[in-house]
Structure 1
Amino acid sequence: MLWEDRDVRFDISPQQMKMRSGERVIDRLESIEDTKGNSGDRGRLIITNLRLLWHSLNMPRVSLSVGFNCIINITTKTVNSKLRGLTEALYILTKANNTRFEFIFTNLVPGTPRLFTSVIGVYKAYNSSKMYRELKLRGAFIQNKQLRILPQEQIFSRVNGVWNLSSDQGNLGTFIITNVRLVWFANMNELFNISLPYLQIASVKVRESKFGMALVVESSEASGGYVLGFRIDPVEKLHEVHKEISALYSVYSQCPVFGVEFILQDKPPTDGNQLDLPDMDEAEIDESVHDTADVLAAYLADGLHHDREPVFSSELGLAIEKLKEGYTLQTLWEVIPS
């Protein structure tokens, strides 16, 4: 499951800091302060094509992972940094799991605007490349029965005579199979279409339907959990198309194409996947401790989180806000997690 661009996580493990398949480092900035949650702590900000990673240089286990898909707004803000004083900082508002968090990153080296240009530029590139990652229905990606090709996309096959079985009578259309997605559109109305990236495909099967043997494509839960049926005659051709889609899906799974392209003008040479994390003592890493209440509270956007319903607590003998999954009254009272 792809979580890197769709989640906000705190104090993540070294394993979660590593680049997943298809993820690459676009820029790395030294001497960045997490002014909101770790003011006075010098750290490193790593910008990938899916997320922002920050970790403290003194204590690498103090870290953040902020997915680009969670970001609501990016702007600048004047803040009072412990290490630099009154200065302009990068302000980021996010939403994850129905909770809003805010992050403030301050560049501790004067006269280096790369913090703003890199983060904002990569975020814009991420937003403009959603077709690589999101299912799209009735989109404007077909023109004169031709697919509008994405920058990193290659067409492998065009299959005519494909019936979409979403209605009782079916709709005759065309498949276009590329290296990043499966596209179908109706011959009579090209705006009746679907673009399904391999990233959002849960399974591809051939099975019996009330229309005979059909190609059944299931989309992921994140994209709506659609079950799409297509009939292709003859059956031999159906199996050929199924084999081709399955092969391309397998290749894509090994090395996904996320479509986020951004080139820095004055970027120092770096290894695209090397994070250069400081050594972490085994004793310092506690995989069982995740988002503790005090860490979450530091990043909550004031007044923007949603209150949960009240429930009766038999331990306290009064009504309290319903605890989040994984929390107990004992853990909320602990200053140092046991």
Structure 2
Amino acid sequence: MGSKINDKRESLWQDRDVRFDVPLNELKLRNGERIVEYFSKIEDTKGNAGEEGKVTITNLRLIWQSKIKPRINLSVGLGCVSSLTNRTIHTKLRGKHEALYIMTKVNGTRYEFIFTQLDLELGTQFGIVQLISKVCRAYTSTKLFRDLKLRSAVITPNSKQLKVLSSETIYNKIDGVWNLSSDQGNLGTMHLTSVRVVWHANMNELFNISLPYIQISNIKVRESKFGVALVIESTDSSGGYVLGFRIDPSDRMNAVYSELINLFTIHSTKPDLGVDSYLEMGSSLAFNDHESNAALITTSDSDLKEIDDQHVAHQSDAIAAYLADEAQSKNNEIVYCPQLGLAIEKIKEGFTLESLWQVIPQG
């Protein structure tokens, strides 16, 4: 039986990358991406001071887009966020304002973003800082929905049952599944759920793999040195693993294969990325509808057919503008702080000692 899946889906990058001035089609919501909230008057203070824009917060990323020039935009993945801070800043243009500081790290490079909410009167029941903090916590708490995990605590030690995720449904538990990753093979148990396939060894539950459907690139049945095997390939972004399983007899394996294909297809149409259900549990947050909010992100414009040299130059300058000033911070002057009774790095102008304690905003 040959391959049934030709993976033409876009790999999941929205939550794990920071991109500047992207083509407008990259701002479109991917399958499973949903809008949490929208703020209409937000300034990108560090990169585009004085220019009003709009912020769209989804379950995967934060999107800032200039209202006047939609090609000037940011896509900041939630998986890249290392810290959030609410600070009071002083600028010549705006005076004294509350601002959101976001520190991110991508492939060893740190970027700093500063967003200022220009019209607090029009804010939602949650301010932008509190809301993004809630979404980031939900994102971090639901990584098993989106990330391949090896040797993690997916099985309860006492009852030997799969730890079910929020909104996850177990559809089948298959005993007697051989993992063909070693020469002798390992006998274990496979679970097929609404969001992932999980296998663990019977003799050692910590020898396991949890593979979300969104990280699967191919599923097929083919010959191996162990005979006919069920083969599952993960995406390049998740490590490009090739996993082989043997289930006897062959008709039982074909039944598992068909069920897995069906679950994969259903999930691909409308992926459950976990953040939605986590946020909605015990919260008054309500997710917005996909179609009705698609217009919140400008993805077409009559004059956006070509990117001119001026825009390319702006993109290069923009990346430099957001780089975190690590070198300067390492050489800060050491001063005595009477409030703490300690020697500390001199606090930058415009900040206070109190604001530096607000690394994790209180939601």
Shorter-chain TM-score bucket reads: 0.7 to 0.9
More helix by share: 2
Q: Provide the residue aligned with 2:133 in structure 1.
A: 120
1:56 aligns with one of 40, 43, 66: 66
1:151 aligns to 2:166 (yes or no):
yes
* CA distance in 2 between partners of 1:23 and 1:133 (Å): 12
Cα displacement (A) at 1:130: 0.1
RMSD: 2.3
Q: Provide the residue aligned with 2:109 in structure 1.
A: 99
Partner secondary structure for residue 294 of structure 2:
coil
Map 1:33-44 to 2 at 5 A: 33-44=43-54
* CA distance in 1 between partners of 2:252 and 2:92 (Å): 67
Letter in 1 for 2:118: L
**8 A contact 1:18–1:275 mirrored in 2:** no
Letter in 2 for 1:19: L
Partner secondary structure for residue 241 of structure 1:
helix
2:40 aligns with one of 30, 37, 42: 30
Q: Deviations over 1:96-132 (max 9, x none)?
A: 2442211001111246561111111101100110000
Rate the CA distance shift 1:90–1:292 in 2: closer, same or farther, 3 A: same
1:294 aligns to 2:317 (yes or no):
yes
Higher RCO, Cα 8 Å, sep 6+ = 2
Q: Provide the residue aligned with 1:166 in structure 2.
A: 181
| Of 24-33 and 10-19, the range deviating more from structure 2 | 10-19
Rate the CA distance shift 1:116–1:152 in 2: closer, same or farther, 3 A: same
Q: Deviations over 1:122-173 (max 9, x none)?
A: 0110011000011111211211221111111111111111011112221111
Which blocks of at least 5 consecutive residues in structure 2 are unaligned? 1-10, 329-363
Letter in 2 for 1:165: L
* CA distance in 2 between partners of 1:55 and 1:176 (Å): 42
Partner secondary structure for residue 137 of structure 2:
helix
Letter in 1 for 2:263: L
Q: Provide the residue aligned with 2:354 in structure 1.
A: none
**8 A contact 2:24–2:299 mirrored in 1:** no
Percent of counterpart pairs with the same letter? 51
**8 A contact 2:44–2:116 mirrored in 1:** yes
Q: Provide the residue aligned with 1:282 in structure 2.
A: 302
1:207 aligns to 2:222 (yes or no):
yes
Cα displacement (A) at 1:278: 5.8
Figure out how many residues of one structure are paired with residues of the other and give that number.
304
Q: Provide the residue aligned with 1:329 in structure 2.
A: none
**8 A contact 2:24–2:298 mirrored in 1:** no
Partner secondary structure for residue 275 of structure 2:
coil
**8 A contact 1:45–1:52 mirrored in 2:** yes
Q: Provide the residue aligned with 2:88 in structure 1.
A: 78
* CA distance in 1 between partners of 2:204 and 2:235 (Å): 26
Map 1:245-260 to 2 at 5 A: 245-260=260-275
Which blocks of at least 5 consecutive residues in structure 1 are unaligned? 306-338
Cα displacement (A) at 1:60: 2.1
* CA distance in 2 between partners of 1:22 and 1:30 (Å): 23
Rate the CA distance shift 1:27–1:304 in 2: closer, same or farther, 3 A: farther
1:180 aligns to 2:190 (yes or no):
no
Partner secondary structure for residue 142 of structure 1:
coil
Letter in 2 for 1:293: S
1:229 aligns to 2:244 (yes or no):
yes
| Of 137-146 and 45-54, the range deviating more from structure 2 | 137-146
* CA distance in 1 between partners of 2:119 and 2:232 (Å): 51
Q: Provide the residue aligned with 1:335 in structure 2.
A: none
Q: Provide the residue aligned with 1:132 in structure 2.
A: 145
**8 A contact 2:62–2:78 mirrored in 1:** yes
Rate the CA distance shift 1:126–1:47 in 2: closer, same or farther, 3 A: same
**8 A contact 2:56–2:296 mirrored in 1:** no
**8 A contact 1:13–1:287 mirrored in 2:** no
Letter in 1 for 2:154: F
Cα displacement (A) at 1:190: 1.7
Letter in 2 for 1:201: I
* CA distance in 1 between partners of 2:162 and 2:77 (Å): 30
Rate the CA distance shift 1:205–1:274 in 2: closer, same or farther, 3 A: same
Partner secondary structure for residue 295 of structure 2:
coil
Letter in 2 for 1:184: W
Cα displacement (A) at 1:30: 1.7
Cα displacement (A) at 1:77: 2.6
* CA distance in 1 between partners of 2:16 and 2:220 (Å): 28
